[in-house]
Structure 1
Amino acid sequence: MIVEVCANSYEYAVNAELGGANRIELCKDLHLDGLTPDDDISVSTINKLKIPVFILIRPRGGDFVYNNEEFELMKNDIKKFKKLGCSGIVSGVLNTDNTIDIKRTKELIELSKPLEFTFHRAFDKIVNPIEGVDQLIKLGVNRILTSGQEGTAIKGLKLLKKLNKINNNRIIILPGAGMKTKFFEIFSKAGFKEIHGSFKSEIKKV
């Protein structure tokens, strides 16, 4: 099983790799559920780590509906982090009615190529997750980070399993939120190949 660790500092990312993480999602301001990381931390992390580093592209906290200025910033950030050598992009855009903004999300995906693209937990806000999976598959998204629209992934396991079943291996469902190592076996037996978490109590801090 691939373990993706959400890290909000260079030190945390290094310790996650030492602890056996397979991939890093780098961000800042976890109290806001994660924002786009600063350049200096990103450069250090990308250059130091041997495992893939995905970058979260989210300009602010709150909802996932962005004005033109915010969206331009997101696009410019993707271009910048691609040049810095990241391995993937984590982002997404919604409409005001909590449906996926197909046009803008497609723009972000196209800008991210050839890197992998993860649609982040904006997915947990959408009104029709079944339809959402199909839309994201058609857009060419590699994976969906989701808690199953619950506060934690373990609580959302029922929907997560349903999403994993209907996608028929066309996209990776990446369970995240409140993830702990003691849940690994549960998710593995349920058919998930990847999991996501910060694992704060389980990764040694510098």
Structure 2
Amino acid sequence: MANNIADIRKDYKLRTLSESEVSPEPIGQFDKWWQEAIHSDLDEPNAMTLATATADGMPDARIVLLKGFDQTGFTFFTNYDSAKGQQLLENPRATLVFFWRELERQIRISGLIAQTTPAISDDYFNSRPEGSRLGAWASPQSDAIENREWLEANEKKFVEEFSDKPITRPPHWGGYVLKPVRVEFWQGRPSRLHDRICYSLLPSGQWKIQRLAP
């Protein structure tokens, strides 16, 4: 079995990435690749790994969904009381990783995390399907629960509670924005000689662009 796993490999040949063709700042370059991902009809191109760490340095990671990006950073939403919410409270630094297999591309974005404004959280929460809004109330995310029946009973309780009034955003649920300080764009190339272009934020606020060895 171990030998079979070791034999799994793919030679990447689709595209290239050079310093001469990238944007002067990473959000612009991300937008270029994002538009290509959208027009390539990828399955959930906004799915990304969110890597966090506890105050004492224990790492953790999971898949979340990107819900917006602009010059301020990359936005996602979750339960503030969850394990990742607690980790981000203790250590407000994180890394996002996108892997678009069909385009042979990976993006790593590291930076500082802050909660979005309540207005931004409200706007997104109110745009969600009713079931998702109720789920934000019903699920004490990351807590141990008795069984599936307990969760379904809790959901039923909130269905009844909000049967005759708007489903407001729970105070424990909202958005985060990651403000990048380092962004790497990886393009697969033959013989594992991949293209890696890295943006690093300088104290001046300018971005330094470097090619990294694969």
| TM-score > 0.5, shorter chain as reference | no
> Larger Cα Rg: Structure 1 or Structure 2?
2
With a CA cutoff of 8 Å and minimum separation of 6, indicate the structure with the bigger relative contact order.
Answer: 2
If each structure's helix is expressed as a fraction of its own residues, which one has the higher value?
Answer: 1
Which TM-score applies when normalising by structure 1? 0.25
Which TM-score applies when normalising by structure 2? 0.24
If each structure's strand is expressed as a fraction of its own residues, which one has the higher value?
Answer: 2
